[in-house]
Amino acid sequence: MNAADPSANRDNWKRIRREMQALLDSREGAKAVWMFVLLIAFLAAISALNVLMSYVGRDFMSAIEKRDSARFLREAWLYVGMFAISTVTAVLYRYLEERLGLLWRSQQTSRLLERYLRNRAYFHIEEGGVLANPDQRISEDVRSFTTSTLSFVLMTLNALITVFAFSSVLWSISPRLFGIAVAYAVFGSGVATLLGRRLIGLNSLQLDKEANLRAELLHLRENAEPVALQHREELLHRRLLGRLDQLVANSRQMISVNRNLGFFTNGYNYLIQIIPALIVAPMFMNGEVSFGVVTQSAVAFSFLMGAFSLLVTQFQSISTYAAVAARLGKLLEAFDQADAPEPAPVAVYCEPGRRGLAYQGLSLYRPDGAPLLSSLSLELAPGTRLLVRASSGHAKIALFRATAGLIEAGAGRIQRPCADQLMFVPERPYLPHGTLRQLLLPVPPAVAPDDASILSLLARLRLEHLAQAGAGLDSERDWLNHLGLGEQLRLVLARVLLARPALVFLDRLRVSLDFAEQRRVLDLLHEYGIGYLLLGKPGDALDQFDAGLDIAVDGSWSLQGPSELAAVAVASPAPV
């Protein structure tokens, strides 16, 4: 992307308008409009004060030139008063700008978070690998986008007001000076664009490379113990240095472009200080104007050039802003894709009120097309206990993920209960930050069990110690780091038992629980009337199951168990 790319610029403008419209349409829209109107009023007031101070400054310097003490003191006091009023106005303007920026950031971040979690967009983005660092885009890029957009809009409005306010002042002093100001600004904007257009693409890359380095450091922090136990420091060190080298190489390019741009912008800004003197000083020497007009022309020229030369003075900031807008645009495109996904090869239907689970002609494949499971047709009634055994761990995991609606390569149909009646327990449990009560109870709970029932269940799972210290069920901890893997899994299973779904799909329990603990958990599920599907391995006994589903290496399958059991194999696949 570069500044000269018209399509990129059009896309950025569309994104900016889209986000502004989203703010106006939100419940904070009316408040944002009033705050923006007040900001424009403050801008007009500041420009009016600047114009007045240019005249006060002119008279002040003229009083010095004429050695008029009385007029000097009067203008000095007027000067001080104008400074005081300008200070209050500028501070209130800045305060209101920050409040409006915070309001917009809060609204946009809330909206993006809702879209990030809707339709499992977070999963599809991570699984597809098409978008790097969505977390940074939602947090840091939104902050930069909202504050920068507001700042640039206000700067543009301020520039327009300044041009309107000071053009007449400068024209009244010297029409030739006004023409030079316009021509100089046009020249400067063109050269700055030519020298700095590469910065937009480089800034976008820099944001990604900074985020990649942070992600590697976060990975090291989160996996400190296994890294230390397996002595993988050297591998991670090389990865970190690789990320750092990429960041440094891109930074070098940015520094080179900024150097060339700096040569021009610094010289450009220095000339602004002397150009009005070169034009107006001869007029003073010829007696055409007073000395105060020389200083007034410098002030007016400086303000007017600041307005005309916005692209020159803010080009580096604009290039960073354009990169941020493009990154947010890609995030919104990823959300749009998640909202309107392509038809899934495996049709998964969640039916409200349904309690049984049915597979109809379900086939699952590896990414290379090799079969993992071929034409599975099976119906499981509520309360059914099924052991899934397979030589290939990929086949079992594929069935687990397909049932949850997370599979991509496959065909067939799955009719399943909704989330309140079919729950999934992965091999690696997930425990968010929160109180023990929040972790255990469904959100929202249909009928919240009393504390005695919760504590009794925790005791049966050998987790009673979690509620005995501190605030009991309302104690809040970092559970993932505080508990061992077996305790984490039993805590997730406690939530399942309290929710009482019709079925629960369990990943390999034996990874975290010993044989006796697994039997105890399965007995509890059966006692609570909860059916379960468990991923096992060949040779596992069926004494706690109604049937066993065996998946061969070639994807063929067979059902082991008495024919009168609730798990019934359909002779031929149902049409999809």
What pLDDT does 35 receive?
A: 92
Q: Containing H/E element for 273?
A: helix 233-285
pLDDT of residue 534: 92
Q: Residue 142: inside a domain, yes or no?
A: yes
Judge if 171 and 309 occupy the same domain.
yes
Residue 164 in contact with residue 307, Cβ under 8 Å?
Answer: no
* Structural domains in the chain (count): 2
Looking at the fold, whether 53 and 186 belong to one and the same domain comes out as: yes
Does a structural domain hold residue 365?
A: yes
What is d(CA 303, CA 46) in angstroms, rounded to the nearest whole number? Answer: 12
pLDDT of residue 128: 63
Strand order in the sheet with 557-560: 422-425, 503-506, 531-535, 385-390, 547-551, 557-560
**Which residues touch 360 (CB under 8 Å, ≥6 apart)?**
377, 412, 413, 414, 415, 570, 573, 574, 575, 576
Domain shared by 335 and 350, yes or no: no
In the prediction, which pLDDT does 143 show? 86
Same domain, yes or no, for 134 and 272?
Answer: yes
Tell whether 441 is covered by a domain.
Answer: yes
Q: What is the pLDDT of residue 136?
A: 77
Question: How far is 460 from 454, CA to CA, in rounded Å?
Answer: 10
Look at residue 329 and tell me if it is in a domain.
yes
For the domain that residue 156 is a member of, what is the CATH number? 1.20.1560.10
Residues in the chain: 576
CA proximity to 403, closest of 278, 231, 565, 535:
535
Q: Is residue 190 part of a domain?
A: yes
Rounded CA separation 166/251 (Å)? 40
State how beta strands 503-506 and 371-380 pair. unpaired
pLDDT at residue number 33:
92
Same domain, 308 and 426: no
pTM of the model: 0.66
Q: Are 439 and 499 in contact (CB under 8 A)?
A: no
Q: Which of 324, 339, 354 is the last residue of a domain?
A: 339
* pLDDT at residue number 572: 37
User: Quick one: which H or E segment has residue 227?
Assistant: helix 224-230
Within this chain, do residues 285 and 425 fall inside the same structural domain, yes or no? no
Low-confidence ranges of the chain (pLDDT < 70): 1-12, 127-130, 225-226, 229-230, 291-292, 307-313, 339-344, 408, 442-447, 468-471, 562-576
CATH code of the domain covering residue 565? 3.40.50.300
Q: Are 63 and 56 in contact (CB under 8 A)?
A: no
**How far from each other are the two terminal CA atoms of the chain, in whole angstroms?**
45
Contact 264, 230 (CB under 8 A): no
Same domain, residue pair 376 and 289? no
- 490 and 404, same structural domain? yes
In this structure, are 333 and 368 located in the same domain?
no
In this prediction, residue 288 carries a pLDDT of: 72
Residues 44 and 180 occupy one common structural domain: yes
Distance of CA 380 to the CA centre of its chain: 40
Which is it for strands 503-506 and 410-416: parallel, antiparallel or unpaired?
Answer: unpaired
Asked if 303 and 51 count as a contact pair (C-beta separation under 8 A), the reply is no
Tell me how far apart the alpha carbons of residues 165 and 53 are, in angstroms, rounded to a whole number: 12
Q: Is 220 within the bounds of a domain?
A: no
Which of 316, 339, 362 finishes a domain?
339
Let me know if residue 243 belongs to a domain: no
- Residue 169 has what pLDDT? 74
Cβ atoms < 10 Å from Cβ of 363: 20
Secondary structure of residue 447 in the 3-state scheme: coil
Question: For position 230, what pLDDT does the model report?
Answer: 67
Same domain, 305 and 445: no
Domain that holds residue 418: 346-569
Final residue of a structural domain among 339, 367, 394: 339
232 inside domain: no
pLDDT score, position 566: 41
Considering the domain architecture, whether residues 129 and 271 belong to the same structural domain is answered as yes
